[in-house]
């Protein structure tokens, strides 16, 4: 049986934090095994006193449906505490937000991909707390797509953004607690960091093998299947193509009005990608790109998640579209996630080389060889921070 950090909080909280005033960063998936919210549990705690709540992208209640929709903080009259937005005017807690806080607790369900902004909200909280001398406690959670698989290129520092502040491969295979340990060692040396680890989790376990309840960490992450394809299909946010937002299968469906379903699927089959089948389809998004327009495309059906490579699959899709529709400019223009100059696709991949190579028609094999070397190099670094076997 697997227990998350919140399940073990009262047992494993260091005594030096007893009686402290605490800030708490949470979202809808911040729950224990019995689906009781972390906020509710800690407001009732006799060991600490919650004096402020903080929420990441999509809001503390997950109420902002689409991406890049800011939300404003407010005062919770029932709890008698302020709720601060870290996805709006500020993404890093201000001194004013931290003024009545002695410890800062983070309980966020990540989904195992560098682009997912919750780990970067954590990084900015670490930076702010280091500056103010406030200890941080991370309540660890499983990586839902496993801690044994990595994939994709490493972020280059000059392409740092809110979808990647520090170097990580796209699929990092780490828990949020392990990432915090990496950040402390490399970037926030003076932070007072405590990780309350998981109990019972093995790196090879996927979320549906843990017995833990799935709650959507964000509105367009409805299922584990979504999380499995996301390390690749989020790349489509950096293009004019629909990544399936506005459908009931975001990131599992892709397309555009100019795409011919049978044609794209036939081309993709030639790549002989492992663990995946493409099914041609038409769809009409209800919001986001191509709202109310008929799109042609395909649905991704993962039939072997151990062999499936989401990043490689997404690059195969983009190479296919470039070859089939060479006169279409598929790259989306900024702004995107608070970046106003660099192309969204470039900050997602972590550099501009991949976009340029796709435009040249470089083979998928040659591209994968480059990012595979980067991933393997990072694995040697990350082994120093892994908490679980």
Domain of 339, CATH number, reads 3.90.1150.140
- Rounded to 10 degrees, the C-alpha dihedral 106/66/232/301 comes to 110
- List the one residue out of 139, 136, 203 whose CA is nearest residue 174: 203
Q: Which of 189, 220, 251 is the last residue of a domain?
A: 220
- Taking the whole predicted model, whether its pTM rises above 0.85 is answered as yes
| 204 shares a domain with 87 | yes
| 207 shares a domain with 254 | no
* Per-residue CA distances from 105 to 9, 29, 221 (Å): 11, 15, 24
pLDDT of residue 295: 98
- List the one residue out of 170, 182, 111 whose CA is nearest residue 382: 182
Q: What token pair was written down for 327?
A: 């006169």
At 6 the three-state DSSP class reads: helix
Domain count, the chain: 2
Compute the distance between CA of residue 289 and CA of residue 241 in angstroms, rounded to an integer. Answer: 7
At 324 the three-state DSSP class reads: helix
Q: Hey, which residues does 255 pair with through a beta bridge?
A: 242, 297
pLDDT of residue 61: 76
- Does the CA dihedral 166-171-176-181 come out positive or negative? negative
Print burial letters for 273-290: b (CB count within 10 Å at least 16), e (below 16).
bebbebebbebebeebbb
Q: What token pair was written down for 341?
A: 């100059």
pLDDT of residue 267: 98
pLDDT of residue 58: 87
66 contacts 245 by C-beta, under 8 angstroms: yes
Which residues, in sequence order, are CB contacts of 346 under 8 Å at separation 6+? 159, 238, 352, 355
| 259 shares a domain with 203 | no
Run of H or E residues at 268: helix 261-269
350 contacts 151 by C-beta, under 8 angstroms: no
| 84 shares a domain with 230 | no
DSSP string, 328-383: ---BPPSPBTTBSSS-HHHHHHTSSHHHHHHHHT--HHHHHHHHHHHHHHHHHHHG
Query: Which segments in the chain show pLDDT lower than 70?
Result: 62, 64-68
Q: Is residue 383 part of a domain?
A: no
Q: Which of 176, 200, 220 is the last residue of a domain?
A: 220
CATH number for the domain harbouring residue 94: 3.40.50.12170
10, exposed or middle or buried, with CB in 10 Å at 0-12, 13-18, 19+?
middle
Q: Which of 171, 191, 220 is the last residue of a domain?
A: 220
Q: What token pair was written down for 20?
A: 């402290």
Q: What is the largest CA-CA distance in the chain?
A: 64
Q: Is residue 305 part of a domain?
A: yes
| 140 shares a domain with 115 | yes
Q: Is residue 388 part of a domain?
A: no
Q: Residue 52 — φ and ψ, nearest 5°? A: -160, 145
pLDDT of residue 67: 65
Q: Is residue 128 part of a domain?
A: yes
- List the one residue out of 338, 335, 254, 336 whose CA is nearest residue 289: 254
Q: Is residue 289 part of a domain?
A: yes
Run of H or E residues at 40: helix 38-43
pLDDT one-digit tens code per residue, 306-354: 999 999 999 999 999 999 999 999 999 999 999 999 999 999 999 999 9
Compute the distance between CA of residue 220 and CA of residue 250 in angstroms, rounded to an integer. Answer: 6
- Rounded to 10 degrees, the C-alpha dihedral 197/199/204/209 comes to -130
Compute the distance between CA of residue 387 and CA of residue 178 in angstroms, rounded to an integer. Answer: 7
Per-residue DSSP letter, 212: P
| 209 shares a domain with 112 | yes
| 233 shares a domain with 167 | no
Q: Is residue 39 part of a domain?
A: yes
Using left for φ > 0, alpha for ψ between -120 and 50, and beta otherwise, residue 68 falls in left
pLDDT of residue 62: 67
388 contacts 198 by C-beta, under 8 angstroms: yes
Q: Is residue 381 part of a domain?
A: no
| 239 shares a domain with 334 | yes
| 369 shares a domain with 288 | yes
| 121 shares a domain with 64 | yes
Q: Is residue 57 part of a domain?
A: yes
- List the one residue out of 127, 79, 125, 91 whose CA is nearest residue 106: 125
Using left for φ > 0, alpha for ψ between -120 and 50, and beta otherwise, residue 143 falls in beta
Compute the distance between CA of residue 237 and CA of residue 151 in angstroms, rounded to an integer. Answer: 19
| 308 shares a domain with 174 | no
| 135 shares a domain with 275 | no
Q: Which residues span the domain enclosing 178? A: 5-220
């Amino acid at each position: 049986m697997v227990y998350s950090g919140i399940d073990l909080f009262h047992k494993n909280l260091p005594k030096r934090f007893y009686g402290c005033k605490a800030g708490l960063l949470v979202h809808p998936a911040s729950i224990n095994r019995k689906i009781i919210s972390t906020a509710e549990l800690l407001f009732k705690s006799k060991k600490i006193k919650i004096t402020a709540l903080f929420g990441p992208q999509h809001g503390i209640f997950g109420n902002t449906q689409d991406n890049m929709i800011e939300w404003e903080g407010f005062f919770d009259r029932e709890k008698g505490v302020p709720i601060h937005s870290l996805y709006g005017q500020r993404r890093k807690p201000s001194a004013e937000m931290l003024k009545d806080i002695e410890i800062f607790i983070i309980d966020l369900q990540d989904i195992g991909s560098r682009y997912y902004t919750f780990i970067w909200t954590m990084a900015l909280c670490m930076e702010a707390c280091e500056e103010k001398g406030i200890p941080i406690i991370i309540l660890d959670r499983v990586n839902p797509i496993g801690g044994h698989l990595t994939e994709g290129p490493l972020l280059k520092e000059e392409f740092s953004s809110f979808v990647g502040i520090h170097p990580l491969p796209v699929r990092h295979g780490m828990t949020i607690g392990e990432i915090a340990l990496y950040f402390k060692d490399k970037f926030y040396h003076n932070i007072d960091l405590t990780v309350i680890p998981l109990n019972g989790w093995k790196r090879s376990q996927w979320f549906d093998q843990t017995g833990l309840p799935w709650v959507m960490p964000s509105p367009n992450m409805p299922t584990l299947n979504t999380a499995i394809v996301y390390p690749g299909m989020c790349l489509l946010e950096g293009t004019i193509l629909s990544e399936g937002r506005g459908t009931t299968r975001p990131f599992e469906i892709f397309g555009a009005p100019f795409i011919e379903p049978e044609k794209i699927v036939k081309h993709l089959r030639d790549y002989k990608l492992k663990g995946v089948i493409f099914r041609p389809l038409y769809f009409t998004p209800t919001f986001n790109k191509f709202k109310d327009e008929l799109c042609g495309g395909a649905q991704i059906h993962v039939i072997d998640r151990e062999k499936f490579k989401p990043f490689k699959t997404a690059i195969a899709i983009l190479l296919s579209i470039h070859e089939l529709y060479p006169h279409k400019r598929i790259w989306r223009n900024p702004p995107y996630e608070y970046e106003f100059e660099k192309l969204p696709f470039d900050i997602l991949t972590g550099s501009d080389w991949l976009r340029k190579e796709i435009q040249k028609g470089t083979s998928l094999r040659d591209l994968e060889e480059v990012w595979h070397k980067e991933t393997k190099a990072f694995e040697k670094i990350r082994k120093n921070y892994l908490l679980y076997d």
